[in-house]
């Protein structure tokens, strides 16, 4: 059962052949308490870039890319074993749903019916609730393609799961291309009117996971505005210009250069934990952000069809035991979460997150990995 979706064309699939053989492998990651076996899939491209993904929570466990000297390093935070993901409260690498980010008081009304969701973040609902998409086992299919390798994950979220209405069928397709792109395509359909907002929650550190904080990373965001928040990180509803604020990343700026300013929004977020209103026309795939880490030369771009992007600078990280014996500290990773705006179900002026029967939710988000300053090969 391979489902074609937006962003993946038939000719690409038709090219499945020998050349990409051996670029996909699967091994057991562990067993859950109920005996369910969970796997980990390794996707490799022809440049040696390697991505590991588990079907527990759809989490990206590692991404290995070269620096400007060709030295490989793992650039995302994560755990070395399944138990780490089961216990995780940081959403390392996770596939987030049904609703990424916060919903005020965990409440919303659709067609006159009020729905109450879990309040798992103070009084608010965060990232799909107590057992969100990051805590369920996804059905997986792997495939070698002409231009890369692909892992497709499917999950049916039952009516009333975590309080949300309607059976929701979700497919997340991860593709690692030979152009060093990690392309994530999501689709969802529902049997009853509901709300959907999916995202990917990798914490990046382009110097290498566990190599200190991310404050020297140069970040550029294609956004003229952001959604300021109240004390509980729910948007006030205002769209504020970034001009003249520490939220102006229209030119490449070090993440840390203004992060500790006595700015009310930075104080509320304990750093950056805000949704940027991306400059775009509609649902087109466009450049949202680019990042450069000077010591390694690694750079990354994030492209998305989504209207918003949450910049989160790991402000809640506190001595987390990660992969390879590494400890992840405060601001040791940053997330670029493509999304619709937080609390949209209660903010009629924000782009809608309502999905009706017969409609299809689609999102394409691409993380592109590159280096700057590499010496040309003789």
Catalytic site residues?
201, 337
In the complex, least distance from residue 312 CB atom to ligand GLA, rounded to whole angstroms: 4
Closest CA to 61 of 312, 320, 323: 323
- 349 is written with which tokens? 């002026």
Rounded-to-integer distance, Cα 317 and Cα 329, Å: 6
**Residue closest to ligand GLA when measured from CB atoms:** 312
Instruction: Please report, for the chain, how many H helices and E strands are present, in that order.
Output: 3, 29
Rounded-to-integer distance, Cα 43 and Cα 151, Å: 8
Q: What is the DSSP letter of 161?
A: G
- Residues contacting ligand GLA: total by CB under 6 A: 11
Closest CA to 150 of 179, 133, 172: 172
How far, in Å, are 44, 49, 66 from residue 12 at the CA level? Answer: 17, 20, 26
The answer to whether 117 and 125 have CB atoms below 8 angstroms apart is yes
Q: Per-residue x/- marks for ligand GLA, 220-259, CB under 6 A?
A: -------------x--------------------------
Nearer to ligand GLA, 101 or 152 (CB): 101
Nearer to ligand GLA, 171 or 242 (CB): 242
Nearer to ligand GLA, 59 or 154 (CB): 59
In the complex, least distance from residue 301 CB atom to ligand GLA, rounded to whole angstroms: 20
The answer to whether 275 and 300 have CB atoms below 8 angstroms apart is no
In the complex, least distance from residue 190 CB atom to ligand GLA, rounded to whole angstroms: 24
In the complex, least distance from residue 42 CB atom to ligand GLA, rounded to whole angstroms: 26
The answer to whether 108 and 89 have CB atoms below 8 angstroms apart is no
Nearer to ligand GLA, 151 or 311 (CB): 311
Q: How far apart are the first and last CA of the chain?
A: 46
330 near ligand GLA, judged by CB under 6 A: no
The answer to whether 283 and 365 have CB atoms below 8 angstroms apart is no
88 near ligand GLA, judged by CB under 6 A: no
Nearer to ligand GLA, 146 or 316 (CB): 316
99 near ligand GLA, judged by CB under 6 A: no
Rounded-to-integer distance, Cα 302 and Cα 285, Å: 10
Residues 38-77 that bind ligand GLA (CB under 6 A): none
Q: Give the three-state DSSP class for 256.
A: helix
335 near ligand GLA, judged by CB under 6 A: yes
In the complex, least distance from residue 4 CB atom to ligand GLA, rounded to whole angstroms: 31
In the complex, least distance from residue 106 CB atom to ligand GLA, rounded to whole angstroms: 14
Query: Taken in order 181, 126, 138, 193, is the CA torsion positive or negative?
Result: negative
In the complex, least distance from residue 122 CB atom to ligand GLA, rounded to whole angstroms: 11
Q: Tell me whether residue 258 is exposed, middle or buried, using C-beta atoms within 10 angstroms of its C-beta: 0 to 12, 13 to 18, 19 or more.
A: middle
Nearer to ligand GLA, 188 or 320 (CB): 320
| Max Cα-Cα span within the chain | 68
Q: Which of 54, 62, 90, 202 binds ligand GLA (CB under 6 A)?
A: 90
Nearer to ligand GLA, 41 or 249 (CB): 249
Q: Per-residue x/- marks for ligand GLA, 117-136, CB under 6 A?
A: ---------x----------
91 near ligand GLA, judged by CB under 6 A: yes
**Bridge-partner residues for 225, per DSSP?**
241, 277
Rounded-to-integer distance, Cα 64 and Cα 350, Å: 37
Q: Per-residue x/- marks for ligand GLA, 280-319, CB under 6 A?
A: ------------------------------x-x---x---
Residues 336-365 that bind ligand GLA (CB under 6 A): 337
Q: Which residues bind ligand GLA (CB under 6 A)?
A: 90-91, 101, 126, 233, 273, 310, 312, 316, 335, 337
């Amino acid at each position: 059962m391979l489902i074609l979706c937006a962003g993946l064309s038939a000719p690409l699939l038709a090219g499945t052949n020998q050349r990409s053989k051996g670029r996909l492998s699967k091994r057991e990651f562990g067993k859950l308490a109920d005996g369910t076996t969970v796997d980990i899939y390794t996707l490799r491209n022809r440049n040696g870039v390697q991505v590991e993904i588990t079907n527990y929570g759809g989490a990206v466990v590692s991404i290995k890319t070269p620096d400007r000297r060709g030295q490989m390093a793992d650039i995302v935070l994560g755990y070395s074993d399944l138990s780490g993901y089961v216990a995780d409260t940081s959403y390392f690498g996770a596939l987030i749903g049904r609703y990424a980010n916060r919903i005020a008081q965990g409440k919303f009304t659709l067609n006159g019916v009020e729905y109450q969701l879990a309040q798992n973040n103070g009084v608010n609902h965060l990232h799909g609730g107590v057992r969100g998409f990051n805590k369920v086992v996804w059905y997986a299919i792997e495939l070698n393609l002409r231009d890369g390798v692909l892992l497709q994950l499917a999950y049916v979220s039952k009516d009333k799961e975590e309080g949300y209405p309607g059976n929701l069928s979700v497919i997340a397709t991860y593709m690692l291309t030979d152009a060093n792109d990690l392309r994530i395509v999501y689709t969802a359909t529902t049997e009853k009117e509901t709300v959907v907002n999916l995202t990917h929650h990798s914490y990046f550190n382009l110097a290498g996971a566990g190599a200190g904080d991310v404050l020297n990373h140069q970040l550029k965001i294609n956004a003229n505005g952001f959604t300021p928040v109240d004390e509980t990180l729910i948007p006030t509803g205002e769209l504020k210009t970034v001009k003249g604020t520490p939220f102006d990343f229209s030119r490449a700026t070090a993440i840390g250069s203004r992060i500790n300013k006595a700015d009310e929004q930075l104080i509320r977020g304990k750093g950056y934990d805000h949704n940027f209103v991306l400059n775009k026309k509609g649902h087109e795939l466009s450049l949202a952000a680019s990042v450069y880490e000077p010591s390694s030369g690694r750079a990354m771009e994030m492209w998305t069809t989504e209207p918003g992007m949450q910049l989160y600078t790991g402000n809640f990280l506190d001595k987390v035991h990660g992969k390879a014996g590494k400890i992840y500290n405060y601001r040791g990773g940053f997330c670029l979460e493509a999304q619709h705006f937080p609390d949209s179900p209660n903010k009629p002026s924000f782009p809608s997150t309502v999905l009706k029967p017969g409609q299809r939710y689609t999102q394409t988000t691409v993380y592109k990995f590159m280096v700057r300053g590499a010496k040309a090969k003789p």
